[in-house]
Structure 1
Amino acid sequence: MQTVSDYTTTGQFYTILTPEKAINDDKVIVFLHGLGSSQNFHYPVALELSQQYVCLLIDHEGAASSKLNKPLLTLEDLSNNIELILKETGLSAKKIILVGHSMSGMLINYINIFNSEKFNIVGNVLIGPVHPTEQAADIFEKRIESLKGAKSLKEFSNVIPFAATGSACNPLKKAFIRQLILSQTVEGYVANCAAIVNARDYDFTNNYKLIKKPTLIIYGEEDKTAPWVGGVEIIDKAIVNTKAVELSKVGHWIVIESPDEVYQLINEFVKDK
């Protein structure tokens, strides 16, 4: 496996994992992380998949190692960044499987509904995807307000690893989640919160039916952030071609909590794409 990490012309950080031998090199699996995270959230799964497939991991604008270019972001901004990275890395002509966690599950749905003509998408993997609602927008508006004047995310880092994980999550995994949160700037976190808030401006509920590509949904039994009832269930029922899989004793940080199961599910899904 070969690894290349670099920045785009706009300061967006990415990593490409390429198999030593050209196996299944007609496609690329694009990994997109959630709020308060980084490309390393997906790294354990991408590392395994890169034995066969080209894998592209991205830090969203303002997250972890990527530069923040505007104070508040939208889903359109994040979609444009993905398009730019694919073009600058020469991967845009390949068949694309989008893999997104939480906020990025919502972003993938946005791309399929509104920007699908810009990407050669052959499949989607939604991991604990967020369904945008007025209630969710209110929660993140309050979170933005609570961060005014804050210098770090230390308060969140001491709560989220416990409140947003499942009963089987061990201390080492919680420590990793804590570090991911601490690696964010307040400004970048707020900018990405805004993308979740602004998602209420799009009619996702009535547009999910426009998503035609095969879609794998992976969700946690104990996920309170993106629960099945009132959230993931709505997405699963509305998209035409889905398979939903529940992971036992798993919360919202699904890949970190259960990397082996996630790898097996994605590997099986990608085979015929």
Structure 2
Amino acid sequence: MPSLSDYSSKGQFYTILSPEDGQSKKDNLVIVFLHGLGSSSSFHYPVAVKLANEYTCLLLDHEGAANSKLNRSTLTLEDLSSNLEDVLKETGLDKKEIILAGHSMSGMLINYINIYDSDKFNIVANVLICPVHPVPQASDIFQKRIDSLEGAKSLSQFANSLPSAATGSKCDNLKKAFIRQLILSQTVDGYVANCRAIISGGTYDLANKYSLIKKPTLIICGEEDKTSPWKGGVEIIDKGIQNTRVAEISGVGHWLVIEAPEETFKIVSEFIKEFFTEQK
């Protein structure tokens, strides 16, 4: 499986995974994987590396996250969408059909892109993994996180708590260690900037515009997800988008792909194959 990792002109780290020559199921398709807060493109790697046996996959570190450069102290969903557009153009993938797959805050980003920037991307389907819905109290929660990091030199306070608090009952210590390291790999400034991107979600009136999203959308939930719960959160997204399919994985919390990579791969690959069957 050929792979390429590089940086965009703005310092965005990305990886392209491709099928061997002649093995692609659809040459004109790219699956774009976008991670959540305190994470990186490695979050999606266990699923992407298997899908890349048949489809081209692009994995991206958001601005200020993990290996990507932070160019401004405050980020918005509009900024993250623009960054993705730049990377697709620089890699020559902008003309391809795109399946957007995003976890947590990137689920919210994908909804934003479908509503406000759909003319900039050739989107054919979406995969929302534990997507965040911008409820009013979310702004307060993330502002408190920002305030708590004032003067901090690392994210150790979150790295020591979230791997247990935000995962489900089936998550073992090795997976928690990976989550811990993902969080520790962030800079405080980058984490804060991405917190502000989540807060910005409350300014776009997404709840009243979900009906504008018409592309087939798969929503994957963790049964024990307390960060993006179904009631009052994900259910609003599901009811608003016109063409959704929902899958729930038992014993799993918010870090779903790491907690249940095999189940996630099966659900996503079956959705993609079903989508192509329906298009024929």
CA–CA distance in 2 between the matches of 1:12 and 1:176?
22
Please tell me the residue identity of whatever aligns with 2:262.
D
Partner of 1:16: 16
Partner of 2:59: 57
Q: Secondary structure at the match of 1:180?
A: helix
Following superposition, the deviation at residue 198 of structure 1 comes to 1.3
Please tell me the residue identity of whatever aligns with 1:193.
C
CA–CA distance in 2 between the matches of 1:197 and 1:90?
31
Q: TM-score, normalised by structure 2?
A: 0.97
CA–CA distance in 2 between the matches of 1:199 and 1:234?
15
CA–CA distance in 2 between the matches of 1:76 and 1:36?
19
Partner of 1:184: 186
Please tell me the residue identity of whatever aligns with 2:15.
T
CA–CA distance in 2 between the matches of 1:171 and 1:143?
25
CA–CA distance in 2 between the matches of 1:160 and 1:95?
35
Following superposition, the deviation at residue 133 of structure 1 comes to 1.4
The aligned runs of 1:142-157 (5 Å cut-off) are: 142-157=144-159
* Runs ≥4 residues deviating over 6 A: none
What per-residue deviation string (whole Å, max 9, x for no partner) do you get for residues 134-155 of structure 1?
Answer: 1011100110011010000011
Please tell me the residue identity of whatever aligns with 1:30.
V
Following superposition, the deviation at residue 21 of structure 1 comes to 2.1
What per-residue deviation string (whole Å, max 9, x for no partner) do you get for residues 189-232 of structure 1?
Answer: 00000001111111111100000000000000000000000111
Between the aligned residues of both structures, percent identity stands at: 68
* Structure 2: 5+ residue stretches without partners: none
CA–CA distance in 2 between the matches of 1:99 and 1:122?
11
Partner of 2:142: 140
* Structure 1: 5+ residue stretches without partners: none
Partner of 1:107: 109
Please provide the CA RMSD for this pair.
0.6
Following superposition, the deviation at residue 17 of structure 1 comes to 0.2
What per-residue deviation string (whole Å, max 9, x for no partner) do you get for residues 151-197 of structure 1?
Answer: 00011000000000000000000000000000000000000000011
Q: TM-score, normalised by structure 1?
A: 0.99
Aligned positions, number: 273
Please tell me the residue identity of whatever aligns with 2:118.
S
Please tell me the residue identity of whatever aligns with 2:181.
Q
Q: Secondary structure at the match of 2:209?
A: helix
